[in-house]
Structure 1
Amino acid sequence: MKKRFFIAGTDTDAGKTLVTTGLLVAANRKGMRTIGLKPVAAGCEPTAEGLRNSDALLLQEAASVKLSYEQVNPIAFEPPIAPHIAAAQEGRNLSADRLAAYCRGAMMQPADLVLVEGAGGWRVPLSMRESLARLPQLLELDVILVVGIKLGCINHAILTAEAIARDGLRLAGWVANHVDPEMSCPDENLATLETLFRAPLLGRVPWMEDPSADAVADCIDLNTLLPE
């Protein structure tokens, strides 16, 4: 049965893409057919082929099912700003329904695991009427939360988990990503989150000066998420 998850983060710099690529590589190692999607991305570079987002390119590379860039990242904006602001500047409309349609198209490809990476935090707006949180609702996706382990992470993580539950979605698991090598009491923070979260901890990613999807995959245990 195809498994599908939405990858959310506690904030913009939590490490969603790094963890998503690590999850894809870990699943690849199990012989699974994997797809990574980044439906909307801001902060793209102009190229001869069109706008390209570095995070979306990493997802495209890490997935074992090779999709076109437009399938991986159908909505791209050049400035590195909130998507709804970028869309307004270009006179474009963003909607969860439209993003969901793009995702459903890509999901028609044969795959065992599909990961849909969000943008920013859980409540990042698509417009003044809806947020990106509407997308996993429409696609009926369980959520994997990437917690950036730094000062303030406990509050951010618990508030995000509460919002996920309030939106009627299931938190399938979470990944602790150490983004601040100078943080005080990281072990104590992690222990607090493990106590307060009901969802399983899928992995603890240490701070890395030169992180890679392969290194992150070594830190992740998929057995709880994807039992044999």
Structure 2
Amino acid sequence: MTKGYFITGTGTGVGKTLVSGALLHAFGARGRTTVGMKPVVAGCDNGQYMDVELLLAASTITAPREQVNPYALVPPIAPHIAARQSGIVIDIATINRACLELQKIADLVIVEGTGGFLVPLNEYQDGADMARILNLPVILVVGMQLGCLNHALLTAQVVRGTGLPLAGWVANRIDPQMAAFDENLLALEQRLNCPLVGVLPFEQNADAKTLSRLLDIAVLEQDQPHEH
């Protein structure tokens, strides 16, 4: 049985935190102990890192904050730049140790990546390197908007290039005016070659717990024999 999933997206602001929270609620509703992890957060709002707060709220168990979020950076910019400005070097080994500790206390750790899959984390490593060392199956959040087909297919190709399984994908409607939504959804279903876990509607104040009911996590469970 897998000890978690790594959540990546087609870019920044596509709903990774929302989907991570919804997955935590969905697995929690099935009786699994869950904990969210945001290894690197960049962007502090009124003294709070909202991504981290939302993951903590959606988890079924409480874990030390330094394990849930090893690196908290104030500026809402690329993490390697924010870290450099703060005099910090993001260390992937530190992130891996924190994840292993969380896996000891929870059935499932939902790890939310930062930005897109290849976002730089330090001078020579990126999000793909982090995912590879954590060695978790990947779930791709596709922000449904014009241009998402290329972003989704490129990301899926890079994920598979790391050797990690692409366990599934979630379509998140971030642009309510998106033309030909159904046709775009079908194009991705035909080309991503992994299960569609759910389609989330556009909502101004989306609630992860409510949206968790729209996720079919059973399709993820079926994929487990192929995992590391």
Flag whether TM exceeds 0.5 (same fold): yes
Contact in 2 for aligned 1:46/1:78 (Cα 8 Å): no
Q: Equivalent residue for 2:100? A: 104
Contact in 2 for aligned 1:96/1:132 (Cα 8 Å): no
| Correspondence for 2:200 among 205, 214, 217 | 205
Tell me if 1:26 matches 2:21: no
Counting aligned pairs with the same residue, the percent is: 45
Contact in 2 for aligned 1:124/1:131 (Cα 8 Å): yes
After superposition, give the CA deviation of every residue in 1:171-227 in whole Å (9 maximum; x if it has no partner): 000000000001101110000000001100000001112200122101100111125
Contact in 2 for aligned 1:87/1:93 (Cα 8 Å): yes
Superposition misfits of 4+ residues, deviation over 3 angstroms:
none
In structure 1, distance between residues paired with 2:46 and 2:103:
27
| Correspondence for 2:144 among 137, 142, 149 | 149
Q: Equivalent residue for 2:159? A: 164
- Alignment RMSD: 1.5
Tell me if 1:9 matches 2:4: no
After superposition, give the CA deviation of every residue in 1:49-101 in whole Å (9 maximum; x if it has no partner): xxx31011100110101113222112101110111001111121112222212
TM-score normalized by the length of structure 2: 0.93
Q: Equivalent residue for 2:217? A: 222
Q: Equivalent residue for 1:89? A: 85
| Larger helix fraction of residues | 2
In structure 2, distance between residues paired with 1:125 and 1:133:
9
Contact in 1 for aligned 2:102/2:109 (Cα 8 Å): no
TM-score normalized by the length of structure 1: 0.93
Contact in 1 for aligned 2:3/2:103 (Cα 8 Å): no
Q: Equivalent residue for 1:75? A: 71
Tell me if 1:54 matches 2:68: no
| Larger strand fraction of residues | 1
Structure 1: segments with no counterpart, 5+ residues: none
In structure 1, distance between residues paired with 2:90 and 2:33:
30
In structure 1, distance between residues paired with 2:17 and 2:104:
22
In structure 2, distance between residues paired with 1:130 and 1:74:
16
Tell me if 1:178 matches 2:181: no
Q: How many equivalent pairs are there?
A: 223
In structure 1, distance between residues paired with 2:74 and 2:204:
27
